Amino acid sequence: MYKSRPEARKTAAELRGLLSAEYPPGKRVVIFPSFTNLSDVLDIFAATPCVTVGAQNFYPAVEGAYTGEISLTMLREMGVSRVLAGHSERRHLLGEADELVARKTAFALKQGFSVMLCIGETLAEREAGDLVRALSRQTGAALADLPAACLARLSIAYEPVWAIGTGKVAGPAEVLEAHAEVRALVARIFGDAGRNVPILYGGSVKPDNAATLLKLDNVDGLLVGGASLNAESFLRIIRA
């Protein structure tokens, strides 16, 4: 929940200019701005094929009396085709349970959207040795009834809740353990097809730790928070 419309336009235009001058091949960038900034950011990146724009949230219904929510139909007519589901702040600040995250994930995929499903453990779960249980619960709930045909539009972001906005970053061993577990969980559900689902790391990602994180097994990308608010900072992460 950052940036007025002029601020969002300025940052997006700066990033577009930097990317047009220098863009590492083979990279994909997805930006999830706030709802009030979606149309402006979509317009700015309309001619930048390496960048797509997604929405931070939606409600799993075509329409209805869901005051304060937004539908996929509304997002689609704006030109949005990607959404987040299960972000740690939605789960832990706003109380979205595993069942709701699962409904949202399945609904968006059925509607033809690409979904970035976010999962991750709290500090209490980590300290209690419940990492595997927490990841299994969240991943299993969201993926259990999905058809394998939708996997091409699914990505998973592992974000340890205790590392979101705290400046703390999971160490290499912790990231490796979590990502290996997620990979194994997806493979158990979908077989070999599950080995192609991208798994991203999110949690206080910064320009100075991005390259180290990306060298780890099963880390296919990064979910960036505060460091994406500045175009030059974000570009340094993209370069990594």
Residues belonging to the active site: 87, 159
Under 8 Å between Cβ of 6 and 223: no
- CA dihedral for 167, 173, 174, 176, sign (positive or negative): positive
Rounded CA separation 64/71 (Å): 9
Q: In angstroms, how far is CA 104 from the centroid of its own chain?
A: 14
Under 8 Å between Cβ of 186 and 197: yes
